[in-house]
A and B are shown apart, each in its own frame.
Chain A
């Protein structure tokens, strides 16, 4: 294959994703040009035939509108009862999503994809319900009228004059696996309508007059046909791409649309989406944040526009800059944009003067290789209230600033009037200019403009001949006044622009600082719960919000109670289920979002590399409205950092686990090595001795028999000790050690140990010293005995025969202490810290032994709540082990017998 015929890997990947063989359900849309063409009928018929093939088919929701033929098709179908909710006293019914999810049918029939759900349902829109069903592997048949497709809203309005409010995003429509066009000629439809087959009763006539005009129907039909044809076309392209059929591939275009708070942005966004769709090009939407914070109203509109762009498949970028044109171009270049779409500017000439030329003109002038589309906003739309535009925002400074501007001019005028005897009118002009310059440091552009105008008038009125009239006699003075006005305005504007730039920089700096502080606090937290605490605190300080963090309990649900450090607790069970939904779906939900908006907080998933590591809930204290667009951008960064920090902690704990596993593995290997040697040696002795005993020549000699039997006995004892040690260790490690404490006489314990170890200590001299007046102590005597015998045997093994070993017992305050001292070589200093480690044996010691004895001592002592230490005796040499146990003790006298 030649190189240029190789398909684009990205495209291949996309097509693989599209037909992912996972459990995701398939979506089939029955598309019609308008109501009444028989979509529901077609859907039900298709559903019935699937049912006849033996599949489980349920009807999620179907509106028959009283149509007889349609109702007949419902006969014998399984209908999932609708869910009724009460919201603000009204009783509403809607699709019962959870019931269908629980029923798990192969196919669900759900009418009217564009429907908006009743308030109080989980999702705001029915298509979201459908997406959830698809996610859970349930196939869906649904119906849709072409006018409900988001990017066609404007076209439909142009044709019918009706603004459609219930819409389905193009992305959802495009992602459908199959679209079946249900077509009917307008004449047939009108006939059906007249026969009352579409709407029953008077509604038919009303509908006829309004929507079902023949012209409308023709246009809508054309749109529907074209939309379907587009899909067919794209399917063909996909097929060709997959099968490496050479063809005229489209060049890589990338569109960018500039959006703002203006309501016209919506049309421009839809327009861009349509163009991007036909060009099969990716597109981005850019919003440039100016210095001036937006009014809550404008911010709300901006958020709506951003949401629309996201819904239609754009990736949205927010950037800041006082110079919109420059910011847009920079963003375009960074993202390899080939075409920029902007709305036809509504700004006035005057405003252009402030901006250094109109936005459109500047973009065209400076865009270079990038194409610019200028799209008209729909002024003729009566539904959209005309925005006051940028002009008003330019002059919308607080009244105080206007007052200050006018006051300053008035004061300057009065001052100059008083001083007019000493100064001439030119100096007055200079003085006014000075005042304007000062003002530009504190007030906005509007007040500045007012001050410039006012001072010009005052100068003319009071100081330029003829006095006290608004006229100028000398041409040179006239020129001076005009020049003055221009200079005042220009210098003021320039200063103010610098100031705005500063404000922007400061704000950006503040955000950066907040983010930095946040990242810093996360970085210094190690564990997940520390990170949770730092995150909650960071969000509280940056957004003035209370937050909660949920960690996952398992693959599917979150822990019910959020992290302990959370500063907000959801009031109801419902909020937890919202958070759970967010966890399962990886999308934000809750207040101010389209999903489950009735929750008390907004919930965001903490995503890192596709995995959801937790869900953060947030409540802003200002009540009414949510975060501004700028804050949302910042929050997104916060959440990203938070998720990354959590992932880091997660990875670290995973790494720790791996290390632990490796350690266990190493121990197991050591165990095997050490045990196999220790097991084989006595076994070899026993086998050999038994073999010899079986030999008649040996067994005839009495002395030989005795020796062999003794060997077998001591080898068995050694084996037995090893097995007991292993069992002890297993008991310790499995946590199966149950203590049974009883009142004991320490003499008993010490004596029992001495007699237990009699054989092992035979070659040594054991001295026992128990302090006077020892009280009765409450201990587990068996375990304590094991601890002491292990230490004693250890001492016997590692000291030369004939040396002394002494066992002592005494009280240290409330602590019972045992000490074992020997006269051996002692413990090398570098080994002191390790001798209680499992399988550790001091290098160079004699063969035999597993390195288990002392680790069992330590394990048992700790299980008893005590400590064991090893040290060398500095004066006499030799090792000294001390076991300290916290005990309950009492002195009981036997004086006077019990009653």
Chain B
């Protein structure tokens, strides 16, 4: 699945670029690099990468501005390299169209997993999912049937709408704002308390152990992610 996928790495640190090149090439990706934001924008246009890995701290321009410029003409999946303590920066980048983020220092396994998720969504963007399976969760999107470990689960309309968002973005982080906006519309974006309540409900109904959820994972200060389970 990853064979020959082209990854553009935009980072000013030579060592990080080298590390990513070695790791990603070992995982079957082909990698090309850019050391500045301008070079990154140019290469994103010229080389048509399948995924962009973008560092938010670049010397010549802000990473988020690189992202916004790329988004003006391209829907290419973008994964942000961010630092801890910068939840606002992450959320801003995600809301500006980034697909996911990885916090420095990161493990390469984590990055590869994120890349794969991003690639899948990039490819499946237009495709229709009829059936979804993840761990004990089973969703029949056509028949609107949800099962947990084989047992049918009844969801309210809102719960189902919320679940659909996760199913369509499995493995990807979704910000509070994105979820609120898509479920309750743009005017209630900031009333995240409802989201908390519905997430708790979903967990209660769908998690194997609701007190230690591993399906719907909280990303503190950012949002939620549906973890891909084997």
Identify the A interface with B (CB < 8 A): 716, 720, 724, 727-728, 731, 740, 742-745, 747-749, 751-752, 754-755, 768, 770, 776, 780-782, 785, 890, 892-894, 897-898
Contact = CB atoms under 8 A, between A and B. Distances in A.
B228 interface: no
CB-CB nearest 3 A-B residue pairs: A743-B193, A748-B218, A782-B221
Given A731-B85, A751-B212, A768-B211, A781 B221 contact: yes
Contacts of B212: 751, 754, 768
Contact of B193 (A728, A751, A770, A890): A890
B193 A892 contact: yes
B84 A724 contact: yes
B184 interface: yes
Contacts, number: 69
A776 B157 contact: no
Given A743-B196, A751-B218, A898-B194, 5 more contacts: A740-B221, A776-B196, A890-B193, A894-B158, A898-B158
A613 B176 CA distance: 57
Interface stretch (B3-11, B123-131, B198-206): B198-206
Contact of A781 (B85, B211, B220): B220
A776 B157 CA distance: 22
A744 B220 CA distance: 10
B198 A749 contact: no
B213 interface: yes
Contacts of A744: 196
B200 A747 contact: yes
B85 A720 contact: no
Nearest to A770: B211
A743 B195 CA distance: 9
Contacts of A890: 193
A745 B196 CA distance: 6
B182 to A, nearest CB: 14
B156 A897 contact: yes
A898 B184 contact: yes
Nearest to B221: A782
A755 B194 CA distance: 24
Nearest to A781: B220
Contacts of A749: 218, 220
Contacts of B158: 894, 897-898
15 contacts: A724-B84, A740-B88, A740-B221, A745-B199, A751-B211, A751-B213, A770-B211, A781-B220, A785-B220, A892-B196, A893-B197, A894-B194, A894-B198, A894-B201, A897-B158
A781 B176 CA distance: 13
Interface residues of B, number: 27
A605 B194 CA distance: 65
A150 to B, nearest CB: 75
A473 B105 CA distance: 132
Contact of A742 (B188, B192, B194, B199): B192
Given A727-B85, A747-B211, A782 B196 contact: no
Given A727-B85, A751-B212, A898-B158, A776 B193 contact: yes
Contacts of B213: 751
Contacts of A785: 220
B220 A752 contact: yes
B192 A752 contact: no
Nearest to A755: B217
A751 B156 CA distance: 25
A740 B184 CA distance: 22
Contacts of B200: 745, 747
Contacts of A724: 84
A724 B105 CA distance: 11
Contacts of A716: 105
Nearest to B191: A743
A782 B211 contact: no
Nearest to A745: B196
Interface in B119-140: none
Nearest to A749: B220
Nearest to A785: B220
A890 B198 CA distance: 15
Interface of B: 84-85, 87-88, 105, 156-158, 176, 184, 188, 192-194, 196-201, 211-213, 217-218, 220-221
A748 B213 CA distance: 9
A740 B198 CA distance: 22
A364 B85 CA distance: 91
Contact of B197 (A755, A776, A780, A781): A776
B197 A897 contact: no
Nearest to B195: A743
Contacts of B84: 724
Contacts of A752: 218, 220
A711 to B, nearest CB: 15
Nearest to A782: B221
A751 B224 CA distance: 13
Nearest to B203: A747
A728 B84 CA distance: 11
A539 B157 CA distance: 78
B69 to A, nearest CB: 27
B58 to A, nearest CB: 20
Most buried by B among A728, A743, A749, A752: A743
A776 B196 CA distance: 8
B171 to A, nearest CB: 17
Most buried by A among B156, B188, B201: B156
A65 B200 CA distance: 99
Nearest to A719: B105
A755 B105 CA distance: 17
Contacts of B217: 755
A778 to B, nearest CB: 8
A892 B196 CA distance: 9
A682 to B, nearest CB: 13
A882 to B, nearest CB: 21
A716 B104 CA distance: 12
Nearest to B218: A748
A639 to B, nearest CB: 55
A754 B85 CA distance: 18
Nearest to A738: B88
B174 to A, nearest CB: 14
A776 B201 CA distance: 13
Contacts of B87: 740, 782
Contacts of A776: 193, 196-197
Contact of A897 (B157, B176, B220): B157
Contacts of A754: 212
A677 B48 CA distance: 48
A298 B219 CA distance: 88
Contacts of A893: 197
Contacts of A894: 156, 158, 194, 197-198, 201
A769 B199 CA distance: 20
A326 B212 CA distance: 99
A413 B205 CA distance: 123
Contacts of B198: 894
A754 B209 CA distance: 14
Contacts of A751: 211-213, 218
A282 to B, nearest CB: 71
Nearest to A784: B220
Contacts of B157: 897
Contacts of B194: 892, 894, 898
A894 B217 CA distance: 20
Contacts of A743: 192-193, 196
A743 B199 CA distance: 13
Nearest to A753: B220
Contacts of B218: 748-749, 751-752
A892 B192 contact: no
A898 B157 CA distance: 10
A754 B217 CA distance: 12
Contacts of A892: 193-194, 196-197
Contacts of A740: 87-88, 221
A810 B184 CA distance: 31
A892 B200 CA distance: 11
A755 B227 CA distance: 13
